[in-house]
Amino acid sequence: MAAAATPGPAPDPHGGPTPGGGAAPSARSLQGLSPELTARLPQLLEAMRSVGTGLELHNTLDRICETAAQLADARYAALGVVDEDGKGLSDFVYYGVDEATASLIGRLPDGQRGLLGALIHQPEPVLLADLTADPRSYGFPPHHPPMRSFLGVPVRVQEEIFGNLYLAEKRGGREFSVHDRDMVRVLATEAGIAIGNARLYDAAKQRERWIDGSVAVTTALLSGGDAEDALQVVAEQARRLSGSAAGIVSLPADEGGLEIVAVSSEHASGLLGAVVPPESRAVAELLDGKAVFVDDAATDPRLITDLSRDYGPMMMLPLQSGGRVLGGLVTPRARGARPFTESERTLATQFASQAALALMMAEAQRDRERLAVYEDRDRIARDLHDLVIQRLFATGMMLESAQRKSVVPEVQDGVSKAVDELDVTIQEIRTAIFALQQGPAEAPSSLRTRMLREINMAAVPLGFTPSYRFTGPVDAVVGEMTGKNLIAALREALSNAFRHAGASRIEVVVDAGVTLPDGRQGVRLTVSDDGVGIPEGGRRSGLKNLKRRAQSLGGDSWHGPGIGEDGRGTTLVWQAAC
C-alpha cells in the first residue's frame, strides 16, 4: 500500500497552477520536469488540446475522463462533480465501464462516504497502490469491476472545487507513478478552464431556452385563444425547460386549496381536476406567494396527498404578479433524479413570474373583449326594445283600427290573425332581449339555453320545431332546483305530445313573472298542442308525477283543452316557486 504521494515539482500548494490564467500558468507548471515527463510532453499537450475542444458541459466531462485515462494509461476514469453545498456528488461521469456493467451496478456514487467522500472534504492529490487497503475505502457494490491502483486529483474552476478526477487500474498491473500524478494535475488545470468555459456557455444557453419558453407562453396567452390551451402551454414549457417528469398548473379551487387545471406528463391520468387541500403546508406557502423547493416529494411532510408519491425533487412556484397570486406552477422530477440547481430554481421562478404577468394581461384582454361584447348586446337590446317593439305595437294598433272599420268578415279574421302573430313576435323579441341581457356567468349553461336544447331535441321525432316564448328574466330568478324540475316537466310534456297526441302544432311558454297563490314569485310552464287530447281512462302516471314535482316546490300542475279547433288537444300547465 502506498500513502498519498509527496507533492511534485509544481509550486502551487494545491498541486497545480491557478486555473483561469490560460497557457502561462500551465507553462510555468511544466518547468523543472524530469526527462521522463519531458518525453511525454507532446502527449500532454495533445491531451490539453483535446480537453479544451467544445463547449457542451457533459461532452466536456466525458472528454476529460477519456483523455485522462489515455494520458495515464488507466483502464478506468471518472469525474465526480461536487454538489452546491459541498457535501456530496451531484454528477458522476465515468469512462471504461460498459453500459451493461453500469446497469448491473445500479446507482452511481453519491460521495457521501468512502474514499470518494474523503476526497471531497480533503481535495488534495491521492496516489494509492491498493485502494482496497486504504482505511477510507468503503468497498465496492456488487458487479463492480475490481480496482487496485488509484490516482485522485481535484479539479478547480475559478479557485473553487468543481470536483475530483479519479483514475484506477493502470494497465499492465502497474502502479501510478509520481510522473502520472504530475501529468494529470496539469491536465486537471486545463480541465478546470475548459469546464469553466463550458459552464458559462451552458448557463447562457439555458437562459436563452427559458427566455424562448417565456416568449412562447406570452404569445399563447395573448393570442386570444382558449384559456385552457394557454395554460397547457405553460405546463408543457415548464416541464421541457426544467427537465422534469411533469409540468403542472393549478388555480385556486372554490372549496379552498389548489385545483390542477393543466398537466404535461406522460402519465397525466388522475392529476387533471384533482384538488390539493388547503391543509397542505406547501399549498399554504404557495398561496402566500412563497416558492417551495422539495428534495423528495414522496417523503416531505408538507405534501399530504398521494399525488406526490411517485416524484423526487420538486419545485412549487407561485404564479404571482403585482402582489396577486393567480395559482401555482409545479415541476416534479422522478424519484432518484438529481435535485434542481440554484440556477434552475432562479430561472424557473422568473419564468413563473413572466407567465403570471402574461396570465394577468390575457385576463385583462379577455375582460375588455367581453365588455365590448356586452356593451354591444346592451345596445342591441335597447334598440329592439325602444325601436322595433314600439313599431310593432304601432302596427298592431293600426291593424286593430282597420279591423274595426272593416265590414267584411274575412278581412276582420285576417287582420285578427295578423295582430295575434304580432303579439307572438313581440314576445319572442322580448325573449331575445332577456337573453342578450344575461351576465357572462349565466350565458354558457343558462336555464333558457338548456330548455331551448330540449325543444330542439324534440323537433327530431316530432318532425317540426315547437314554437316557444319566454317571458320575464327566466335565468335570473329561477333557482337551480326549480330549474332542474322545470326542464324535466318540459321533457315529459314534449314526450307525451310526440308519443300519444299525434300533434302537428305545439306551443311552449315559460313565464317567470307569475305570482303564486301564497304570494311567492313563481315560474309557469305551459305546453299546448292540437293533438287527440287525453283519452278517458288513459294512464295518468306521468301527469301525477309532474303534479308531485310541482307541489314539492310549492306549486301545482294541471291540464286543460288544447289549441286545436274547438279546443282539440291538450294544454299542460306546470308551475312552481322560483
CATH of 447-577, one of 3.40.50.1820, 3.20.20.80, 3.20.20.20, 3.30.565.10: 3.30.565.10
* 566 vs 530: CA distance, rounded Å: 10
Q: Each residue of 12-49: b (16+ CB within 10 Å) or e?
A: eebbbbbbeeeeebbeebbeebeeebeebeeebeebbe
pLDDT tens profile 416-468: 888 877 877 777 677 666 666 665 444 445 788 888 878 877 776 777 888 98
Q: What are the helix (H) ranges across 152-244?
A: 178-222, 227-242
* 419 vs 400: CA distance, rounded Å: 7
- Kindly tell me the sign of the dihedral angle through the C-alpha atoms of 254, 277, 232, 241: positive
The percentage of residues in the chain with a pLDDT greater than 90, rounded to a whole number, is 10
CATH number attached to the domain at 35-203: 3.30.450.40
> What grid cell was written down for 377?
348586446
Residue 88: which of 109, 107, 106, 102 has the closest Cα?
A: 109
* Positions in the chain whose pLDDT score sits under 70: 1-55, 84-85, 221-228, 267-270, 366, 369, 428, 431-445, 460, 535-542
Residue 70: which of 146, 150, 145, 180 has the closest Cα?
A: 180
Cut 0.85: pTM above it: no
Cβ–Cβ < 8 Å for 90, 66: no
Cβ–Cβ < 8 Å for 313, 83: no
**Domain spanning 209-356: CATH 3.30.450.40:** yes
Give SS3 for 273: coil
pLDDT tens profile 511-543: 998 999 988 999 999 999 988 877 665 555 567
The whole-number pLDDT of residue 5 equals 34
The whole-number pLDDT of residue 185 equals 87
Sheet holding 324-334, edge to edge: 275-276, 258-265, 246-252, 324-334, 311-321, 292-294
Cβ–Cβ < 8 Å for 52, 39: no
